[in-house]
Chain A
Amino acid sequence: MTESIIQINDLHKSFGDTPVLRGLNLSIEKGEITFIIGRSGGGKSVLIKLIIGLLKPDSGQILVDGHDIVPLGDHDLNRVRHRFGMLFQNAALFDSMTIGENIAFPLVTHTGLKEKEIEELVEQKMAMVGLEGIQDKMPTEISGGMRKRAGLARAIILEPEILLFDEPTTGLDPIMAEMIDDLIVQTQERTNVTSIVISHDIPATLRIAHNVAMIYEGQIVTYGTPAQIQASDNHIVQQFLTGEGEGPMYLGD
């Protein structure tokens, strides 16, 4: 029934002597929301950066629609990147630009739209993420939660096929977090976008994910629907879901 849009095969990535990913395999289903969980420093951000070509793996394949993006140069990679939108862990808004200019940036850079049309689209997306009337503020003048929502608006403005979220709700109050979660679900339902979400929020993960993948020691230790994950008898998974300090997963390194 489902087909995978991204297929990752035997991915390895080290920084210096420290291996981060050690033969990771994962497939991302088209039009579904896949959550990636795992402990801090486990390589979740690294994985997402590999998927969008910000980092090159030491070995392995990343197939997007069957085409390996690992050997691609900048030019071809940019064509692939047009299909992606990404929300960075700290939003990564350009702090030399206003919020409005930030959100308009992809439109200004990649479309020939007129100023008026751009303005309308920006306003529409800002309303969608609940950020009316702060177009002219600078990123440093607004709160972390607002920055994240602005980053989200920027990520979806070109209506990409695949959205990457690096901890979209970390550091937000519960109401704001739920609002972002709902936005992720709505965007998926409305445009059938494929979403990859890194999260530490286990309840939200179990509530809105179609699939959950857990990274541990550089590999995917479990993959399945939230129900399957919860029923898993893997001790590492159980320990992570319940957040217990004791178990097979060591806290120190």
Chain B
Amino acid sequence: MIKFFEILGRFIIKTIEEMGQLMLLVVNSFIWTFRPPLRIRAIFKQMEFVGVKSLFVVILTGAFTGAVMTIQIFYGFSMFGAESLVSPTLAIAMARELGPVLTALMVTGRAGSAIAAELGTMRVTEQIDALYVMAANPIKFLVVPRIIAGVFMLPILTVVANLMGVLGGYLVGVILLDINASIFIGNIVEFLNPSDIFNGLIKSAVFGFILTLIGCYKGFYTTGGAEGVGRATTESVVMASILILASDYIMTAIMF
């Protein structure tokens, strides 16, 4: 019994410590974002890494999700003859939830983990110490460009995922399931609210912040050599994914 409380206590202390460290990183990143000079070149490099290089997996994710959702929605709606509402339902689901969340989860797996591995390696090979020694703040040089890239690129990727979702849905719905093409498109235009898209993009910007922040955080505080880098990478994916899903619920409850 005492052992149980000991373990519980240690867990709570560790969690609080971690939260404190994370908050400190957030505050410092915020401060360093607004301290000139802005490192434009580094930001573009990270935008390419987080954004452009994730394009392919986001296209695939969007298209397949749209296609499979169309089949599932069609199955349900055709039971009471509402085939014409399949496409707006798909579009709204993509814009509000599936586009932002699935994009964020895919980019977490691809770029968030890579960020943790890269910064973790820099930590254990003393490259981060070297930055400090050369009076170059690692937060400014490493963390800020990545977070900025995440916040700006995730909404763009989400737009791509949404479009691909609708395209995938169109191919399945119109060609395989025989939904009338003009009804498919027309009902999306009629029922999809711009605010659905906009709120989804706000979400995705928050997700972009979370996944780059957690990647940086886990990498930055890596200890214990190559093994530690592996651990940081895994932990960053788990932690970022959980935070993305939890914050999605909170934002959805507030927004819609």
Contacts and interface: CB of A to CB of B under 8 A. Distances in A.
Interface of A: 49, 52-54, 74, 78-79, 81-82, 84, 86, 88-90, 92-96, 105-106, 109-110
B132 A54 contact: yes
Query: B-side binding surface: helix, strand, loop or mixed?
Result: helix
Contacts of A81: 132-135
A54 B129 contact: yes
Contacts of B126: 88-90, 92
Contact of B133 (A54, A93, A95): A54
A95 B126 CA distance: 11
Contacts of B181: none
Contacts of B134: 81, 105-106, 109-110
A81 B127 CA distance: 16
A78 to B, nearest CB: 4
A92 B135 contact: no
Interface of B: 118, 121-122, 125-127, 129-130, 132-137
A91 to B, nearest CB: 9
Given A81-B134, A88-B126, A106-B134, 18 more contacts: A54-B129, A54-B132, A74-B137, A78-B137, A79-B135, A81-B133, A81-B135, A84-B133, A86-B130, A86-B133, A88-B130, A92-B125, A92-B127, A93-B130, A95-B127, A105-B134, A109-B136, A110-B135
In this complex, which of B118, B122, B126 has the most chain A Cβ atoms within 10 angstroms of its Cβ? B126
22 contacts: A52-B133, A54-B132, A74-B137, A79-B135, A81-B135, A82-B135, A86-B130, A88-B126, A88-B129, A88-B130, A90-B125, A92-B127, A92-B130, A93-B130, A95-B121, A95-B127, A96-B118, A106-B134, A109-B134, A109-B135, A110-B134, A110-B135
A33 B125 CA distance: 27
Contact of A49 (B118, B122, B129, B135): B129
Nearest to B136: A109
Contacts of B135: 78-79, 81-82, 109-110
Nearest to B28: A74
Please give me the 10 A-B residue pairs with the lowest Cβ-Cβ distance, nearest first: A92-B126, A92-B130, A78-B135, A81-B135, A86-B133, A88-B126, A109-B136, A92-B127, A106-B134, A54-B129
A86 B136 CA distance: 14
A94 B133 contact: no
A90 B129 CA distance: 12
Contact of B130 (A74, A82, A94, A96): A94
A93 B130 CA distance: 8
Contacts of A52: 133
A106 B133 CA distance: 10
A84 B129 CA distance: 13
A113 to B, nearest CB: 15
A105 B131 CA distance: 10
A190 B157 CA distance: 56
A106 B118 CA distance: 21
A109 B134 CA distance: 9
Nearest to A110: B135
B136 A92 contact: no
A6 to B, nearest CB: 15
A96 B45 CA distance: 11
Contacts of B133: 52, 54, 81, 84, 86
Contacts of A95: 121, 125, 127
Contacts of B136: 105, 109
